[in-house]
Amino acid sequence: MNAQALAFETLPGISRAVYSPEDFATVQRLAHDTAGIVLVPAKSMLVYSRLAPLVRESRFTTFSDYLGSLKGNEEELRRVICALTTNHTYFFREDHHFEHLGEEVAPVLIAKARNGQPVRIWSAGCSSGEETWSIVTTLLGEDPRMAATLAGTDLRILATDLDDNVLNTARAASYSTENISAMPAELRRLWTQTNGATTTINPQVRNLVSFNRLNLLHDWPMKRRFDVIFCRNVMIYFDQPTKERLVARFADQLLPGGHLYIGHSERVIGPAAARLTQIGKTIYLKEGA
């Protein structure tokens, strides 16, 4: 028995010989072909810990049988990809992005919306919604009339993710009061309601956002280009060619003068980098058409 299999022998419901290097290689291939995700050998135990619950839930006794069942089963394959890409998120993560959005970008977008022009913002890879609601409350700021004002304009905020479960959490917009405490106090006062240990985003704020499932590597149905795109801590999963293609698509999808915000460990790379000027820490401006 190899050392890898022995390492897993004490986990319930799975015998020690059912997760092999061949199983990991299969997951590597599926993850890359389906979502562009790169799984290095050091991730083998992480893959096991993320997928073992799905194997047990599906009543399989071996990884090999479970992985074989994924052929033609898009729903279960999506569950696998979502399990592999679970990412820790919280309100106002990388707060310098929201400082820039609030101070430099929001006034321009609000003026644009008030002048009757369309404004589009995209939270790509929104996970359970903390990023999205951080964007929206930053945009609304400390003017209690702003949500009603923007409701009468052509300002739309799109939030997308691959995982239906996290999208449902984002739509519900209810979080532990401890979790939401990272939101500035005045924004919490204006745009949320607290009931004991739970705090919920106000309905007038929720009405500004549409949540939809989207695989970033597939076709994008959006017809309008965006003023702002947030895509943070998503590209870390992808190989270099996939990152370059995604950056190019974001550049295409941004309006001239639009802003792209990415994660702290990510970089704008590839030919499209010439179209995006870095103006701050992981903040990029599109110049030209």
Indicate the burial class of 205 (C-beta count within 10 angstroms; 0-12, 13-18, 19 or more).
Answer: buried
**Which residues lie across from 199 on neighbouring strands?**
175, 194
Distance CA 174, CA 198 (A): 7
Distance CA 115, CA 117 (A): 6
DSSP label at residue 211: E
Catalytic residue, chosen from 16, 50, 93, 245, is 50
Q: Following CA atoms 47, 129, 218, 275 in sequence, which dihedral angle do they give, to the nearest 10 degrees?
A: -110
Distance CA 25, CA 22 (A): 5
Measuring CA to CA, how many Å separate 143 from each of 97, 101, 105, 149?
20, 16, 16, 10
**Residue 95 annotated as catalytic:** no
Question: Residues for the chain: how many in total?
Answer: 289
Catalytic residue, chosen from 161, 163, 206, 227, is 161
Distance between the two ends of the chain, CA-based, in angstroms?
59
Measuring CA to CA, how many Å separate 262 from each of 93, 124, 269, 272?
12, 10, 12, 15
Indicate the burial class of 59 (C-beta count within 10 angstroms; 0-12, 13-18, 19 or more).
Answer: exposed
**Residue 252 annotated as catalytic:** no
Longest dimension (CA), the chain: 70
Q: Which of 143, 37, 277, 155 is nearest to 50 (CA)?
A: 37
Which are the catalytic amino acids? 50, 161
